[in-house]
Structure 1
Amino acid sequence: MKSLLRASVAAVVALTLTTFSAAAENVLKWGAQRDVVSLDPYSYGDTFTIAVLNHVYEGLVRYDEKLQIAPALATSWEVVSPTVWRFHLRDGVKFHDGAPFTADDVIASLTRVSDPASPLRGNLPAYKGATKVDDHTVEINTTPNYPLLLNDLTNIVIFDKEWLVSNHAEAPTDVGKGVEGYATSHANGTGPFKVVSRKPDAETVFEVSKDWWDKPKHNIDKIIFTPIASSATRVAALLSAEIDFTNSAPLQDIPRLQASSGIKVLASNELRTVFFVFNRTDKTIASDVTDKNPMNDIKVRQAMYQSIDIDALQKKVMRGLSRNTGSMVAPAIPGYADALDSRLPYDPDAAKKLLAEAGYPNGFSFSFVCENDGYVNEEEICQAVSSMWARVGLKANLDVAPTSLQTAKFESGKFDVGILGWANEPMIDSFSILVQVVHSKVGTSGVFNWGGWNYPEVDALIDSAGKELDREKRLGFQTQALMKVKEDIAFMPLHQQPMAWAMGPNIESIVQLTDNKPRFWLTMMK
């Protein structure tokens, strides 16, 4: 009897301790608009996915709280020659499975991300190869005088070579092409948190890594990441404390959230510019014009531009929180100039005249591909613009679906008009959009040249910028390139999109930067 009593008491004590321990944990519940596309940060150039996975994986360098480049897995570096950078690696770092971090891991990771089949190869446009000097020293070879390698490396995370090899994951995955692998659903980084469970489109759980090499500036024990596509459901979850944080507070609900007790909203404009892209190949994808592609006529592109009432879009769809622009890059991005920011006036009558001059007095139809879980209020943007185009005779066949479905269409060029947003990360420099989006698809350039546009004179300016160490000269080349594509209406800028974070009373402090990336290793809970 005494034995049974002792066992019962022990069980109660154990249960009490377990309950107390669970209650004492600082668990941050993050409700996002969508899921990450993969646990492999190399699987697609998706800023949001990479931002989430930056809690698990790290690069040789990173951006600090002022968006300045700082040491991470490398402690220092120097330029050995015009084509060689030497990096000294941090000693004593361990991956989440306990394996030590060495130069072999850096070489394997650079080889994987620069593979011709890697969707992220464009993030290393000047990379030529890497050499191991010793276990904690690596040399990276680039094209001559390339000025932005450190900026690039902030987004190139490091994998454990042995983990890749043992799991047959050396080859890159590709979300857009449906190529998956072990790294798609498993993770092993060196970062402040580690993945402990994963249910795609339902829940991903991260736990603090107590062996992290850095000194933590947070008190979080666990992050529960839940995609909640419905804006109304996301807001309800925040108000009822089912989640503590969302990085995608619906614009229409900001006044309500601001008026709610215990809820704090951080709203501003991020670096990302949202713009339309055109199919510039010989034929349209889905149009009643079959003998040629109307998008190749500048008069058509100008008509589409001048059909958009940007002020109405800003006021009604973006709730007055976006920043209208005529530029492909935000003012904070090097290479921006005030002259880039002017817009063609909204003028439907002029648009109709231009269409008639181009040979389309009754307009024409075309496919218009958008996402319903991508940029802020993207579906509403596309619906509103479709209506504006209809007023001048342009018939947009609106195709709206989740990112998971639309990515393949964009990458294969199966659209006539599409939407794209670019924050110029990780470079935080206009060379990013120029080399990855504007440049012709050649080698590591033009990875996001989805529509086959081709401007040789602009390519030459971009190539010149990519080997110019003088900052002012380099930015001069880049501004010229941006001006040339602006004058030809190669793309159609809309706005810098707003970012709105909302958090409940359990969060004491958080860092919000203009790159719109939550950094929970800098977050304190109450």
Structure 2
Amino acid sequence: MTIRIAAFGAALLATTALTTAAASAETLRWARAAEALTLDPHSQNEGPTTTLMHQIYEPLILRNMQGEMVPALATSWEPSAEDGNVWVFQLREGVTFHGGEEFDSADAVFSLNRAMSEASNFKELLSSVAEVRATGPHTIEIVTNGPNPLLPNNLTNIMMMDEGWATANDAVDVQDYAAGEDTFAARNTNGTGPYVLQSREADVRTVLSANPDYWGIGEFPLAASEIVFTPIQNPATRVAALLTGEVDFIQDVPVQDLQRVQDADGIDVISAPQNRVIFFGMNVGEEDIGNDNVEGANPFADVRVRRAIDIAINREAIQQVVMRGQSEPAGVVNPPPVNGWTEELDQYPAWDIAAANALMEEAGYGDGFSVQLDCPNDRYVNDEAICQAAVGMLAQIGITVNLSALPRAQHFPLIANGETDFYLLGWGVPTYDSEYVFNFLYHTKTADRGSWNGTGYSNPEMDAMIVGLSSEVDLEARNQAIAELWAMAEEEVIYIPIHNQILNWGIADGWDTVVDADDQVLFKYFEAE
């Protein structure tokens, strides 16, 4: 297939794509603010990218749009009766890739090993895996370092690739996105999913068509014969496209336009709390940082400064003014649906400028300091506006914030490459377990853990406890360890939680779906009314 790649910034051309003739009833025209960063299914563990991948590729186990784990390319999975360190997966037979190749155990072994490789952004999910082996044409075993009762939870976003296709196209290695690498798999696809990639002009338009050989025909509605995806970063343009009927579905109705969209004829707004926390991260690990005006010291390394920032952020003001009520203030970077969350843990400190200034004085920064805040402007609901609000709040305690807002394609590599000292990030938990948060955000950055820990934080005691979570079979003891880890994490104040987002999807009459708490759209479940 031919894939056309446009220069970055071509999203401004999206409006031209909306002027095409009206599509047929079976074409679902979809828009959202963010584009997929890559087509390599193991490169970026990031929401909009994974959402597009789910239409084309498939995992062994899937979470449906109600959050339930259901069979995908594995029909069953269970621990081995002979060895508690082994999970046995029976694979679905009769499945073919879009290129016509048969899916079998060799492809599953290849895909899981690929997802465990150094450049993969999914490797933390498989950090407990010692070996993946094929024991039959459609049977694999995953061997873990100690029993891992929650391993299946970690597989729902790890896509299966065709080994022969990857080998033939020099795509065995995962694209190193943070290093700016371009590969065949970053621009081309060959999955088993319900939709086939027909054309793509990055940041402008992606067209998918129904897979005529999909194994799930008859099991899923599969109401859309074609999906046309247009990323539209500008909120007003995105809403206008929905209101005028140029698109049928948008994932991110801007909070300032909610009432207008709700009042429009022929459009529904469907909402749900999202499994995602928005927060600030700080570089606490360096003795000196480069993006401030303090020579020879790192203000963020002092927990008193971090606590001052925590109580200088007025979460309720952000909720009311920036988010217009479409958020829930948070005190922990762990959303409510996730194992380990408690109401007590999620209590956030009262806004207190006087106490914050006293902490700054005590830490030796009574005269303040300046620092750069790196913020995405196209990933989360009102992300740049949240950062702008924080600029004013931190000025009240003497911290002069220089705001740098960039598209997420440029923002995320700053975190991955350790090039930011103060940043905004959002974190969802698709496994619904705290281990996911600890593995990615708190564990020391190593070859197989801590890939999104942009703070430089490292605590050997926490690291050992985090690793131990994957093999603890006593769930009561495991939950106690999770509670202890959260107590340690909260004491350190490595991150400043802001809020949990509320999802608002806009959908035209004629289509029906439910809101997925992970903001994960699976078009094979969409129904035509």
TM-score (norm 2): 0.93
Letter in 1 for 2:484: Q
Which of 104, 114, 117 aligns to 2:116? It is 114
Give, in whole Å, the separation in 1 of the partners of 2:172 and 2:403: 39
Shift of residue 455 of structure 1?
2.1
Q: How does 1:358-507 map to 2 (within 5 A)?
A: 358-425=363-430, 427-507=431-511
Q: How does 1:349-360 map to 2 (within 5 A)?
A: 349-360=354-365
Q: Secondary structure at the match of 1:272?
A: strand
Q: Secondary structure at the match of 2:245?
A: coil
Q: 1:495 to 1:138 in 2, by over 3 A?
A: same
Which of 263, 266, 270 aligns to 2:267? It is 263
Which of 490, 514, 523 aligns to 1:511? It is 514
Shift of residue 122 of structure 1?
1.6
Give, in whole Å, the separation in 1 of the partners of 2:383 and 2:118: 31
Contact 2:209 2:226 in 1 (8 A): yes
Letter in 1 for 2:523: F
Percent identity of paired positions between Structure 1 and Structure 2: 35
TM-score (norm 1): 0.93
Give, in whole Å, the separation in 2 of the partners of 1:319 and 1:216: 37
* Gaps in structure 1 of 5+ consecutive residues: 1-21
Shift of residue 403 of structure 1?
0.8
Shift of residue 261 of structure 1?
0.8
Deviation per CA, 1:27-57: give whole Å up to 9, x if none.
Answer: 0000110211011121111122102210111
Q: Secondary structure at the match of 2:230?
A: strand
Give, in whole Å, the separation in 1 of the partners of 2:107 and 2:299: 49
Contact 1:25 1:222 in 2 (8 A): no
Letter in 1 for 2:43: S
Letter in 2 for 1:494: I
Give, in whole Å, the separation in 2 of the partners of 1:25 and 1:513: 24
Q: 1:279 to 1:23 in 2, by over 3 A?
A: closer
Higher gyration radius (CA): 1
**Aligned match of 1:523:** 526
Contact 2:308 2:360 in 1 (8 A): yes
**Aligned match of 2:18:** none
Q: Secondary structure at the match of 1:218?
A: coil
Which of 320, 328, 331 aligns to 1:315? It is 320
Q: How does 1:1-20 map to 2 (within 5 A)?
A: none
**Aligned match of 1:242:** 246
Q: 1:78 to 1:267 in 2, by over 3 A?
A: closer
Contact 2:272 2:515 in 1 (8 A): no
**Aligned match of 1:188:** 190
Which of 133, 144, 158 aligns to 1:156? It is 158
Which of 299, 303, 311 aligns to 1:298? It is 303
Which of 87, 92, 95 aligns to 1:93? It is 95
Q: 1:84 to 1:392 in 2, by over 3 A?
A: same
Q: Secondary structure at the match of 1:52?
A: helix
Contact 1:337 1:479 in 2 (8 A): no
Shift of residue 505 of structure 1?
2.1
**Aligned match of 1:60:** 60
Q: 1:219 to 1:393 in 2, by over 3 A?
A: same
Shift of residue 24 of structure 1?
5.2
Give, in whole Å, the separation in 2 of the partners of 1:368 and 1:276: 9
Deviation per CA, 1:118-141: give whole Å up to 9, x if none.
Answer: 222122121222111121111111
Q: Secondary structure at the match of 1:54?
A: helix
Contact 1:283 1:293 in 2 (8 A): yes
Shift of residue 25 of structure 1?
5.2
Contact 1:89 1:102 in 2 (8 A): yes
**Aligned match of 1:76:** 76
Give, in whole Å, the separation in 2 of the partners of 1:525 and 1:29: 13
